[in-house]
Amino acid sequence: MDSQQFREAAKAAIDDIAKYYDNISDHRVVADVEPGYLRPLLPASAPLEGESWDSIQADIQSKILPGITHWQAPGFMAFFPCSSSYPAAIAEMYSNTFNGAHFNWICSPAVTELETIVMDWLAQALGLPECFLSGGPTHGGGVLHGSASEAILTVMVAARDKYINEATAHLPEGEEKEEEMWRLRSKLVALGSEGTHSSTKKAAQVLGVRFATVPISEKEGFTMTGEALATKLDELKAKGLEPFYLTATLGTTDVCAVDDFEGISRTLAPRVGKPGEIWVHVDAAYAGAALLLDENKPLAKPIANFHSFNLNPHKWMLTTFDCSAVWVRQRGHLINALSIKPHYLRNQYSDNELVTDYRDWQIPLGRRFRSLKLWFVLRAYGIRGLQAHIQSGITLGESLEAKLVTRPDLFIIFTKAHFGLVTFRVSGDSEEKINSRSQKLYDAINASGQFYLTSTVVKDHFAIRVCTGVATVREETIQKLFDLLVETTEGQLKLE
Ligand SMILES: *Cc1c(COP(=O)(O)O)cnc(C)c1O
């Protein structure tokens, strides 16, 4: 393809993409294909000779679209939003244009410098404590990773090395120190609550450290409290184990609970600044975007006592996947744990430490130009535009809750609308009946193809989750969903 052919093909593709978005409501939300649908539609091997662009593009409509689940459709209320926007899409085109592996500053100075600036902008917009800014007093700063899972694994590596180095700092270099380091490694425990996203457990699995959970209860709104954490820490210490890391969550996946940051920091305060200090990471992958609203800013204050924080702009902040923003209060811990300097990566700027080399803040070497889309989104919408988007998701969640409570004969709110997520169940006179009716309703709604919802099981309660943060959701969508929920539930109860 030459540049003239590219011009024509790319313009046609853009028309096609704009048409897709203009008609996003026309599709069934979830793809209606069977596993293995694609193989019979494609040749058994790659073509020997290059094909015409027309025939390649035609296959988008006929072969790919049927297997697409439409995450931007208003009926998509499953999981969490994974939002796109035109400014982000255009940024991706430019990012692809300046394609490179961008691991060191000199690989493209703009890629590094824009990332540092945009991460400071976003930290300020969220009201994150000053310690997370690149120019802050503790030498912190932000970096863009691909996913929250990657962010959590990365900070856990830094937490592990910090813990072990501090616990063995009193020993002279030598075999004894080495032995003690390996002994400690075998005792390490990473912690989360029972509501913590599975990525923390997975990170522990990858690092080969133990994982333990702090219990949560319905009575406390499924938040991790400082007292529950203290009890768990005592238990682990009594077994001779070394808790070194904790994920605290702002917006759990099941019910959008927020852990008790104040209580957690009170429990951990006696260990701060001493060997045995526990690294606290705040996972705000989804709901962190709600900190853009001033009313939520107080939630960010106690995070000043913690070590790192992540938020996925690719979830609720109109920035296309993948874009996970991570901040640390002391970048030195990441760099100590992750820096490797073979000869081929050396250059005058890096060697003199004049620049940031983001390769030392992440697991992969190479990196994408992700900050461009965040920059475009922040500028095209402005903080006000993004606030309006977040507020809309929150208001629509509250609207659904208000409708559900008008029918106590049919529905029970399980957890109230919070950050654009409501969870509810179908009424019934026993726990068993509530569970089976809720499951049935859930299956029927998803089978309709008009909406895509997810469910969760918390402490043996089956609940339906509705996430209202996708940018195309409107009040009419919420009304339509509510009408369908009522009609379907009434129909099911009649048949019982
Ligand atoms: C979505 C989510 C994750 C996982 O995010 P990835 O970027 O897909 O790894 C982790 N934690 C929370 C709280 C989430 O909402």
Digit-by-digit pLDDT tens for the chain (496 residues) are: 999 999 999 999 999 999 999 999 999 999 999 999 999 999 999 999 999 999 999 999 999 999 999 999 999 999 999 989 999 999 999 999 999 999 999 999 999 999 999 999 999 999 999 999 999 999 999 999 999 999 999 999 999 999 999 999 999 999 999 999 999 999 999 999 999 999 999 999 999 999 999 999 999 999 999 999 999 999 999 999 999 999 999 999 999 999 999 999 999 999 998 999 999 999 999 999 999 999 999 999 999 999 999 999 999 999 999 999 999 999 999 999 998 877 777 777 777 678 899 999 999 999 999 999 999 999 999 999 999 999 999 999 999 999 999 999 999 999 999 999 999 999 999 999 999 999 999 999 999 999 999 999 998 999 999 999 999 999 999 999 999 999 999 999 999 8
Per the CB < 8 A criterion, the answer to whether 166 and 277 are in contact is: yes
Mutate to test the pocket of ligand 1, among 222, 283, 363 (most ligand atoms within 8 A of CB): 283
For the whole model, what pTM was predicted?
0.95
What's the rounded Cα separation, in Å, for the pair 410 and 390?
A: 29
What's the rounded Cα separation, in Å, for the pair 131 and 141?
A: 8
Per the CB < 8 A criterion, the answer to whether 131 and 300 are in contact is: no
| Residue 281 CB–ligand 1 contact under 6 Å | no
Percentages of the chain per state (helix, strand, coil), in multiples of 5? 50, 15, 35
What's the rounded Cα separation, in Å, for the pair 149 and 283?
A: 10
| Residue 247 CB–ligand 1 contact under 6 Å | no
Cα 20 to its chain centre, rounded Å, is 26
| Residue 153 CB–ligand 1 contact under 6 Å | no
What confidence score (pLDDT) does residue 133 get? 96
What's the rounded Cα separation, in Å, for the pair 210 and 472?
A: 42
| Residue 249 CB–ligand 1 contact under 6 Å | yes
Distance from the alpha carbon of residue 309 to the mean position of ligand 1, in angstroms: 12
What's the rounded Cα separation, in Å, for the pair 310 and 122?
A: 12
Secondary structure element (H or E) that encloses residue 8, with its range:
helix 3-22
What confidence score (pLDDT) does residue 348 get? 77
Distance from the alpha carbon of residue 433 to the mean position of ligand 1, in angstroms: 32
| Residue 254 CB–ligand 1 contact under 6 Å | no
Helix axes 148-167, 198-207, angle to 10 degrees: 50
| Residue 324 CB–ligand 1 contact under 6 Å | yes
Here the tokens at position 379 are 């500028």
What confidence score (pLDDT) does residue 353 get? 74
| Residue 376 CB–ligand 1 contact under 6 Å | no
Closest ligand 1 atom, residue 251 Cα: 13
Here the tokens at position 35 are 């596993």
Nearest protein Cα to ligand 1, atom 4: 148
Mutate to test the pocket of ligand 1, among 223, 253, 317 (most ligand atoms within 8 A of CB): 253
| Residue 197 CB–ligand 1 contact under 6 Å | yes
Here the tokens at position 305 are 């006592």
Distance from the alpha carbon of residue 332 to the mean position of ligand 1, in angstroms: 25
CATH 3.40.640.10: does it fit domain 96-378? yes
Nearest protein Cα to ligand 1, atom 14: 285
Distance from the alpha carbon of residue 32 to the mean position of ligand 1, in angstroms: 26
Strand-by-strand arrangement of the 411-418 sheet? 411-418, 421-426, 461-467, 454-458
What confidence score (pLDDT) does residue 349 get? 73
What's 250's DSSP letter? B
Measured torsion, CA atoms of residues 423, 427, 432, 436, in degrees rounded to the nearest 10 = -70
What's the rounded Cα separation, in Å, for the pair 294 and 413?
A: 27
Query: What are the CA-CA distances from residue 40 to residues 35, 37, 45, 63, 64 (Å)?
Result: 11, 7, 12, 10, 13
Distance from the alpha carbon of residue 271 to the mean position of ligand 1, in angstroms: 28
